[in-house]
Structure 1
Amino acid sequence: MTEVFDAIVLYQRDHKEKDLMVKMLTRQAGKRMFYIRHGKSQRYQFTAEIQPLSAATFEGTINTTGLSFINDVKATKDTTFLMTDIVLNAYMTYILGLIDAAFLDNQPITKWYDLIIEALNKLQNGLDPQGIANYFELQLLPVFGIRPTWGQCVICGRSDLPLDFSEELNGTLCQQHWSADEHRLHVDTKAVRILSKLANIDLRLVGTLDLKTQTKQEMARVMDKLYDDQVGIHLKSKSFIQQLASWQNRMMQREKKNDNQTP
């Protein structure tokens, strides 16, 4: 049966000589694989709409088992800003990779589709892409079976003191109880405070994300450690983001050195 559905493209891969297999996250039916006959042909009319990170309203057939098909595109959402900014592109690719890793195919996950659309809106309006990615990392931890306590001490419940994060106790520790874990992460307290806020807020209510470089580095350190040690997934898109950060740091250091040498 032909139906109209909203979807965002996760990725595509070649199939035979001229065809494509395109994986999409649909709002109505979860992740599905679509067979695009002659998708590599220059004459295929929906080439732009089936590119990774594209979002549109499609008409087609979503099958319960096997492959699904696209007949038409009814409307498109502007995601061209992702194609012209390598950093935004990298973070959205990573977010979609997390969603793909967290959920089974054919499982309706409307809530997460709507969150991705909200994230696209936030990124288009200039919110920090790492902060948005950290939001998804935090929100997806329970899906992966990890349920840390954020924003209050796991021992006494206090939230009015500086907090650090303890992997051993699976949550934040207030300053009075830092001695309970000598291997706590020693994270900058501002980074812990922002992560705690992102863990406990609706994305629609996030109006600004003005993050300093040091704070972002600390936030990334916490989330990378949790995903490496406890979740155990290692996405290529995350490795690329880490490489980007390394390149940017080297460029900043070089520019700073050149400025200091300028008479």
Structure 2
Amino acid sequence: MTEIFDAIVMYQRDHKEKDLMVKMLTRQAGKRMFYVRYGKSKRYQFAAEMQPLSMATFEGVINTSGLSFINDVKETQPTSFLMTDIVLNAYMTYIIGLIDAAFVDNQPLVKWYDLVAEAMQKLQKGLDPQGIANYFELQLLPIFGIQPTWGECVVCGRRDLPLDFSEKLNGTLCQQHWEVDPYRMHIDSRAVRILSKLAEIDLHLLGSLDLQDKTKQEMARLMDKLYDDQVGIHLRAKSFIQQLASWQNRMITRKPESDGDKS
């Protein structure tokens, strides 16, 4: 039966000589694989809408098993800003990859579709892309079976002192109890405080997110550690983001030549 549905393109891959297999996150039916006949043809009318991170309202057939099909595109949403900014594209691709890794196909994911759509709006408004990605990492930890304590000391419950993170105790430790775990992460307390807020806030209520480079590095260090050690997934998009950060750091630390050095 033909129906109207909203969807975000997750990725596409070639199929045979002229066709495509397009994975979409649909609002109504979760993650689905669509068979797009002649999708690789230059004359295919919906080629732009089949690009990764595109968002639109489609008409088609969503089957309960097997492949689904696209018949028409009713309305498109503006996501071109993701195609022209390599950093935004990388972080949004990573977020989509996390969703793909966390959930099985054909499972309704209305909440997560709405969060991804909201994240796109936040990025378009200029909110920090790493912070948005960290938000999804935090929110998805329980889906992966990891439920850390954030924002308060796991020992005494205090929230008014500097906090660090303890993998051993699976949560934040206040300054008075840092000695409980000598191998705590030694994360900057500002980074821990921001991550704790992101773990608790509704994304729709997040009006601003302007982070200093040092804070972002510390946030990334903690989240990367949790995902490497406890979740155990290693997405290609995350490796690319880490490479981008490394290149940017080298550019920042590279000293310009002085006038005396110029020939």
Range of TM-score over shorter length? over 0.9
CA distance in 1, matches of 2:211, 2:123: 14
Q: Which residue identity lines up with residue 153 of structure 1 in the other structure?
A: C
CA RMSD, Structure 1 to Structure 2 (Å): 0.7
Residue of structure 1 in register with 2:182 after alignment: 182
Residue of structure 2 in register with 1:23 after alignment: 23
Q: Which SS does the other structure have where 1:258 is aligned?
A: coil
CA distance in 1, matches of 2:142, 2:38: 40
CA distance in 2, matches of 1:140, 1:111: 12
Alignment of 1:252 with 2:242, yes or no, is: no
Residue of structure 1 in register with 2:206 after alignment: 206
CA distance in 1, matches of 2:193, 2:259: 39
CA distance in 1, matches of 2:166, 2:71: 51
CA distance in 2, matches of 1:214, 1:207: 21
Q: Deviations over 1:44-95 (max 9, x none)?
A: 1000001000000000000000000000000000000001100000000000
CA distance in 2, matches of 1:120, 1:57: 16
1:143-182 equivalences in 2 (<5 Å): 143-182=143-182
Residue of structure 2 in register with 1:238 after alignment: 238
Q: Deviations over 1:110-162 (max 9, x none)?
A: 00000000000000000000000000000000000000000000000000000
Q: Which SS does the other structure have where 2:154 is aligned?
A: coil
CA distance in 1, matches of 2:8, 2:165: 35
Residue of structure 1 in register with 2:224 after alignment: 224
**Structure-2-length-normalised TM-score:** 0.98
Q: Which residue identity lines up with residue 95 of structure 2 in the other structure?
A: I
CA distance in 2, matches of 1:38, 1:109: 29
1:47-66 equivalences in 2 (<5 Å): 47-66=47-66
**Structure-1-length-normalised TM-score:** 0.98
Structure 1 unaligned blocks of 5 or more? none
How many aligned positions are there?
A: 260
Structure 2 unaligned blocks of 5 or more? none
Residue of structure 1 in register with 2:45 after alignment: 45
Q: Which SS does the other structure have where 1:131 is aligned?
A: helix
CA distance in 2, matches of 1:50, 1:40: 10
Q: Which SS does the other structure have where 1:65 is aligned?
A: coil
Q: CA deviation at 1:253?
A: 1.2
Residue of structure 1 in register with 2:88 after alignment: 88
Residue of structure 2 in register with 1:119 after alignment: 119
CA distance in 2, matches of 1:210, 1:98: 23
CA distance in 1, matches of 2:19, 2:36: 6
Q: Which residue identity lines up with residue 162 of structure 1 in the other structure?
A: P
Residue of structure 1 in register with 2:192 after alignment: 192
Q: CA deviation at 1:262?
A: 4.5
Residue of structure 1 in register with 2:70 after alignment: 70
